[in-house]
């Protein structure tokens, strides 16, 4: 019998609505849901491959246990028995920090990953926590924490209403947007230009976004910070500062003027490759636009001065009056939070509450920098990591200097992966626990609807039933086994703890609609049965549009959301400043101490002549690819080879590189061979290789990906450099040498 389901795609940040037609246990068709309130039918080529992912014969449907070096299928009880038997004694002997954890990107696209990782982290009791955030957006967390006191409040480009978008190191026509949830990001940018607005793309490559933009400005990799400082400087010298409504709530502007004084368009021209007149024009256009927003992503953040770049982006927004203004950089207040009107101010934001054992790298946002992981595994002594839990991640492909990490992981005494595949990372595990497929689980995008350019709620029912444990049960059982409660402890204990904790906090909170209510009454009023659903229901009902457990019968609840399979749209973003400010001073802090301190290093770096002999390596993404894990889908990898080294014709001629032939790319840490693609899409002096490839690792089980193996660009990225403020890795602007491989064809 055929049936139609409406779900949210969990593959990337765009949260597109999908219409899934099934016939029994088969998917007949997946297309964009035209009635989805947010995506209105948009879909990219990855969206429909939820079918292929679900049906992939390489996808694990039972746990795997490694015996004598080979994986064997096991029951869930056997898998948890092994964990309960091996891990707690190891931690007993070596201490809690002997366990390291890595949390990968798909956790932010998974309800259990959002709600049920905390119990595992608590049970682990380790400070050796790592995630994909320090190879990604950590600079934005840190500067948001420092500037407005909330590390998760990202300033979102309000593209639907903006007149001018200055986009630095982002390629939403391919990535579909990041740290700004906007399904059909390309269509929204097209609309911006159609209504007379301007999109300027700053990128060392003529990316798809740069091709579509009103203007492409080619910039030397790693130098966005200097462009932004010069723009801030021009605002000061040319009288363009107009903070506007938020002026009484901004501090540190004098320091900004002083700090940027030396960075004039003329002094940064050579370093950025952008002439001074262009920088002046850009600044004047930006300041003159009725609304404008500077927005940076991967190319702006994964560089040595990622945090200062992120900070400068927002300083530019603040001083031109574009922070928290429609069409500028706005903040999302998702339906499940509250926005009480209160005096600005709070506890502020701290980094470095603890440090890594070996190199004293500071903690950021509760975790340690990616570049610290290999040292923590390799270096003997008390607190050395001897076991790892990797949940939904592939650090052997996504972390810098990944060959070193491969060797380090191979030396572990015990390793658990929660992953649907035997990947380059999970192949090193002793136990693999597979999550449900995206079609077998319910979904609500807690992470990305919190950073959306509109206020939206949308819940997805599971498309298929399955006997496999749901991901919340899986995580709860893992937490219990890690915590020493054995392999047979009832996951309900964890479910109850989480729900009790949430309700207790709400009852105690004077802003909550259930403040002071009786807990049993609240519990009795929750009709939902799924563990994630019970938590979600409380969050929605106590949120800003919530029904408040009887206060507003028309208000939001999960039951109401279930009746709206295409989602509910609560409208555009609204102003949140100054009430949302949680800095100690109660102001928007433009001169936070860690930024001020790192500025000295920036000045020193600027004073050194830029190295001219090396090429600079940057990454790139492809529409049909998703980090390291969707290359096992045939329809996505067929066609032209994609893991190529892009080289400018002038560099190719100088180095004797021939289109289609192989070249050796080497950096301080390693070397790879990749086929050369000669193209003037990259600037002269820049080469580009995508990440997430290199699927020829022995022992992995990705049969399609192995035929399109490509090479791993993180064999070249260097873990000896990192952003000193945010702990973020440097994945772009890597100095490399390139040589032809004699007599080979790529």
Ligand X SMILES: Nc1nc2c(c(=O)[nH]1)N[C@H]1C(S)=C(S)[C@@H](COP(=O)(O)OP(=O)(O)OC[C@H]3O[C@@H](n4cnc5c(=O)[nH]c(N)nc54)[C@H](O)[C@@H]3O)O[C@H]1N2
Token representation of residue 741:
């491989």
Q: How far is the CB of 450 from ligand X (least distance, A)?
A: 16
Specify which residues 202 forms β-bridges with: 168, 217
H/E segment holding residue 738: strand 734-740
Q: Nearest-CA neighbor of 525 among 511, 514, 509?
A: 514
Helix (H) or strand (E) holding 266: helix 265-272
DSSP-assigned letter for residue 428: G
223 vs 442, beta carbon nearer ligand SF4: 442
Q: Give the tokens for residue 112.
A: 């259990």
Q: Binding segment for ligand SF4 among 11-19, 97-105, 485-493, 654-662 (CB under 6 A)?
A: 11-19
Q: Is 113 buried (19+), middle (13-18) or exposed (0-12) by CB count in 10 A?
A: buried
Q: Which of 33, 81, 136, 719 binds Mo ion (CB under 5 A)?
A: 136
Q: What gap in Å lies between CA 16 and CA 33, rounded to an integer?
A: 8
16 near ligand SF4 (CB under 6 A): yes
- Residue number, 136 or 406, with CB nearest to Mo ion: 136
Pick 30 or 246: Cβ nearer ligand SF4: 30
Record the tokens describing residue 315, joined without a space.
């300083």
Nearer to ligand X, 98 or 228 (CB): 228
By CB under 6 A, tell whether 736 contacts ligand SF4: no
Q: How do strand 64-67 and strand 26-32 relate by DSSP bridges?
A: unpaired
105: DSSP letter: G
* Least CB distance to ligand X at residue 43 (A): 13
Provide the minimum distance between the beta carbon of 634 and ligand X in the complex, in angstroms, as a whole number.
16
44 part of the interface to ligand SF4, by CB under 6 A: yes
For position 692 contacting ligand SF4 by CB under 6 A, the verdict is no
Q: Residue 104 binds which one of ligand SF4, ligand X, Mo ion, none, with CB within 5 to 8 A depending on kind?
A: ligand X
Q: What is 188-245 written as a DSSP string?
A: HHHHHHHTT-EEEEE-SB--HHHHHSSEEE---TT-HHHHHHHHHHHHHHTT----GG
At closest approach, how far in Å is the CB of 190 from ligand SF4?
15
**Residue nearest to ligand X as judged by C-beta position:** 299
Binding site partner of 289, from ligand SF4, ligand X, Mo ion, none, Cβ cut-off 5-8 A by kind: none
Residue 366 DSSP label: T
- In the bound state, the residue with its beta carbon closest to Mo ion is 136
> CA distances (Å), 466 to each of 61, 463, 645, in order?
10, 10, 43
Would you tell me which residues interact with ligand X (CB under 6 A)? 12-13, 104-106, 110, 132, 135-136, 168-172, 174-176, 178, 202-205, 207, 219, 221-222, 224, 297-300, 303, 391-395, 398, 418-421, 423, 435, 618-623, 625-629, 691-692, 713-714, 717, 731-733
Structure tokens at 570: 């609560």
> How far is the C-alpha of 228 from the C-alpha of 30, rounded, in Å?
43
Q: From the list ligand SF4, Mo ion, ligand X, none, pick the one residue 16 interacts with, judged by a Cβ distance below 5 to 8 Å according to partner type.
A: ligand SF4
- The SS3 call for residue 582 is coil
| Cα radius of gyration rounded to whole Å, the chain | 25
| Residue 166 interacting partner from ligand X, Mo ion, ligand SF4, none (CB closer than 5 to 8 Å by kind) | none
9 binds, among Mo ion, ligand X, ligand SF4, none (CB under 5 to 8 A by kind): ligand SF4
43, interface contact from Mo ion, ligand X, ligand SF4, none, CB < 5-8 Å by kind:
ligand SF4
Which is nearest to 200 in space by CA: 296, 267, 290, 271?
296
- Burial of 139-178, coded b for 16+ CB within 10 Å and e otherwise, reads bbbbbbbbbbbbbebbbbbbbbbbbbbbbbbbbbbbbbbb
How far apart CA 364 and CA 23 sit, in angstroms, is 48
Residue 204 site contact among ligand X, Mo ion, ligand SF4, none (CB < 5 to 8 Å, cut-off depends on kind): ligand X
SS3 501: helix
| Contact criterion met (CB below 8 Å) for 20 and 463 | yes
User: Does residue 424 touch Mo ion according to CB under 5 A?
Assistant: no
The β-bridge partners of 731 are none
Q: For residues 37 and 23, what is the distance between their CA atoms, to the nearest angstrom? A: 26
Which one, 12 or 138, has the nearer CB to ligand SF4? 12
Q: Tell how many helices (H) and how many strands (E) occur in the chain.
A: 26, 28
Picked from Mo ion, ligand X, ligand SF4, none, the partner binding residue 169 (CB below 5 to 8 A depending on kind) is ligand X
Cβ proximity to ligand SF4: between 36 and 718 the closer is 36
Query: To the nearest whole angstrom, how small is the minimum distance from the Cβ of residue 133 to ligand X?
Result: 8
> Looking at 7, 20, 43, 120, which residue binds ligand SF4 (CB under 6 A)?
43
* 106 closest CA partner among 478, 427, 418, 416: 418
Closest distance of CB 117 from Mo ion, Å:
17
CB of 251 to ligand SF4, least distance (A): 39
- Partner from ligand SF4, Mo ion, ligand X, none contacting 300, C-beta within 5 to 8 A by type: ligand X
Q: Is 176 in the site for ligand SF4 (CB under 6 A)?
A: yes
Task: Output 12 or 351, the one with its CB closest to ligand SF4.
Answer: 12
| Binding span for Mo ion by CB under 5 A among 61-69, 136-144, 372-380, 434-442 | 136-144
Please give the DSSP secondary-structure letter assigned to residue 613.
Answer: S
Query: Does residue 9 interact with ligand SF4 by CB under 6 A?
Result: yes
Binding partner selected for residue 11 from Mo ion, ligand SF4, ligand X, none, CB under the kind-specific 5 to 8 Å limit: ligand SF4
Minimum CB–partner distance for residue 243 and ligand X (Å): 26
CA distance 395 to 370: 9
- Confirm if 451 and 467 have CB atoms less than 8 A apart: no
Shortest approach of ligand SF4 to residue 40 CB, angstroms? Answer: 12
Residue with tokens 């209105």: 40
Compose the 177-216 pattern: x for residues touching ligand SF4 by CB under 6 A, - for all others. Answer: ------x---------------------------------
**Least distance between ligand X and beta carbon 607 (Å):** 20
| Nearest to ligand SF4 of 43, 300 (CB atom) | 43
User: By C-alpha distance, which of 286, 270, 57 is closest to 166?
Assistant: 286
Applying CB under 6 A, among 5, 6, 46, 648 the residue interacting with ligand SF4 is: 46
Tokens of 627: 């980090």
Query: Which contacts of 56-60 are long-range, i.e. CB under 8 A and separated by 24 or more positions?
Result: 56/632, 56/633, 57/703, 58/421, 58/422, 58/632, 58/701, 58/702, 58/703, 58/704, 59/420, 59/421, 59/434, 59/437, 60/419, 60/420, 60/421, 60/422, 60/432, 60/434
By CB under 6 A, which span of 6-14, 328-336, 344-352, 406-414 interacts with ligand SF4? Answer: 6-14
* Closer residue to Mo ion in complex, CB, 54/621: 621
Burial classification of residue 381, based on how many CB atoms lie within 10 Å of its CB (0-12 exposed, 13-18 middle, 19 or more buried): exposed
Q: Among residues 6, 7, 14, 513, which is the contact residue for ligand SF4, using CB under 6 A? A: 14
Please report, as ranges, the residues that interact with Mo ion according to CB under 5 A.
Answer: 136
Please report, as ranges, the residues that interact with ligand SF4 according to CB under 6 A.
Answer: 9, 11-12, 14-16, 43-44, 46-47, 176, 183
């Amino acid at each position: 019998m055929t049936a139609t389901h409406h779900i949210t795609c969990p593959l990337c940040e765009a949260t597109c609505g999908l219409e899934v037609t099934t016939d029994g246990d088969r998917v007949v068709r997946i297309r964009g849901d035209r009635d989805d309130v947010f995506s209105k039918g948009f879909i990219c080529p990855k969206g429909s491959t939820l079918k292929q992912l679900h049906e992939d014969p390489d996808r694990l449907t039972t746990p795997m246990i490694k015996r004598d070096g080979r994986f064997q299928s096991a029951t869930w009880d056997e898998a948890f028995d092994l964990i309960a038997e091996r891990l707690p004694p190891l931690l007993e002997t070596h201490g809690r920090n002997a366990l390291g954890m890595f949390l990968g990107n798909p956790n932010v696209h998974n309800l259990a990953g959002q709600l049920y990782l905390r119990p595992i982290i608590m049970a682990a009791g380790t400070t050796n926590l790592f995630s994909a955030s320090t190879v990604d957006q950590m600079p934005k967390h840190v500067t948001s924490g420092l500037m407005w006191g909330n590390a998760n409040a990202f300033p979102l480009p309000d593209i639907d209403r903006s007149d001018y978008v200055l986009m630095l190191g982002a390629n939403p026509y391919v990535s579909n947007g990041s740290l700004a949830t906007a399904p059909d990001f390309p269509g929204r940018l097209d609309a911006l230009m159609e209504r007379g607005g301007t999109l300027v793309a700053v990128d060392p490559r003529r990316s798809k976004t740069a091709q579509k933009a009103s203007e492409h400005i080619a910039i030397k990799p790693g130098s966005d910070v200097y462009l932004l400082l010069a723009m801030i400087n021009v605002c000061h010298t040319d009288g363009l500062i107009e903070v506007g409504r938020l002026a009484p709530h901004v501090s540190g502007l004098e320091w900004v003027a002083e700090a940027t004084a030396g960075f004039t368009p003329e002094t940064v021209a050579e370093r950025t490759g952008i002439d001074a007149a262009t920088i002046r024009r850009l600044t004047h256009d930006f300041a003159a636009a009725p609304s404008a927003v500077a927005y940076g992503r991967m190319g702006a953040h994964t560089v040595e001065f990622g945090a200062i770049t992120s900070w400068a982006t927002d300083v530019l927004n603040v001083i031109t009056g574009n922070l928290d203004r429609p069409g500028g950089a706005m903040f999302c207040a998702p339906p499940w939070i509250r926005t009480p009107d209160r005096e600005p101010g709070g506890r502020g934001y701290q980094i470095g509450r603890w440090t890594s054992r070996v190199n004293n790298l500071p903690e950021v946002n509760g975790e340690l920098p990616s570049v610290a992981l290999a040292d923590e595994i390799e270096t003997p002594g008390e607190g050395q990591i001897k076991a790892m839990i990797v949940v939904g991640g592939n650090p052997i492909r996504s972390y810098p200097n990944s060959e070193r990490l491969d060797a380090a992981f191979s030396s572990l005494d015990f390793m658990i992966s929660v992953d649907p595949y035997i990947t380059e990372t999970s192949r090193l595990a002793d136990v693999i626990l597979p999550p449900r497929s995206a079609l077998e689980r319910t979904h609500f995008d807690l992470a990305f609807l919190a950073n959306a350019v509109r206020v939206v709620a949308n819940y997805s029912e599971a498309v298929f039933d399955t006997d496999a444990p749901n991901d919340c049960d899986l995580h709860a059982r893992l937490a219990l086994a890690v915590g020493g409660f054995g392999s047979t402890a009832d996951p309900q204990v964890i479910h109850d703890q989480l729900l009790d904790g949430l309700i207790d906090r709400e009852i105690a909170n004077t802003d909550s609609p259930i403040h002071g209510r009786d807990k049993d009454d609240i519990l009795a009023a929750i009709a939902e049965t799924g563990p994630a659903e019970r938590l979600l229901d409380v969050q929605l009902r106590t949120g800003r549009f919530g029904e408040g457990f009887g206060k507003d019968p028309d208000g939001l609840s999960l039951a109401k959301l279930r009746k709206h399979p295409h989602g509910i749209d609560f409208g555009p973003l609204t102003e949140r400043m100054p009430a949302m400010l949680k800095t100690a001073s109660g102001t928007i802090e433009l001169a936070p101490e860690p930024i001020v301190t790192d500025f000295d290093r920036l000045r020193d770096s600027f004073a050194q002549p830029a190295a001219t002999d090396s090429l600079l390596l940057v990454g790139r993404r492809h529409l049909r690819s998703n980090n390291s894990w969707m290359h096992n889908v045939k329809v996505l990898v067929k066609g032209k080879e994609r893991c190529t080294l892009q080289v400018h014709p002038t560099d190719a001629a100088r180095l004797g590189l021939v289109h289609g032939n192989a070249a050796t790319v080497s950096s301080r840490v390693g070397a790879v061979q990749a086929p050369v693609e000669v193209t003037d899409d990259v600037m002269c002096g820049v080469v580009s290789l995508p990440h997430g490839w290199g699927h020829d690792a022995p022992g992995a089980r990705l049969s399609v990906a192995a035929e399109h193996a490509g090479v791993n660009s993180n064999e070249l990225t260097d873990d000896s450099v990192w952003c000193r403020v945010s702990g973020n890795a440097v994945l772009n602007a890597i100095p490399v040498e390139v040589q032809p491989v004699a007599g080979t064809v790529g």
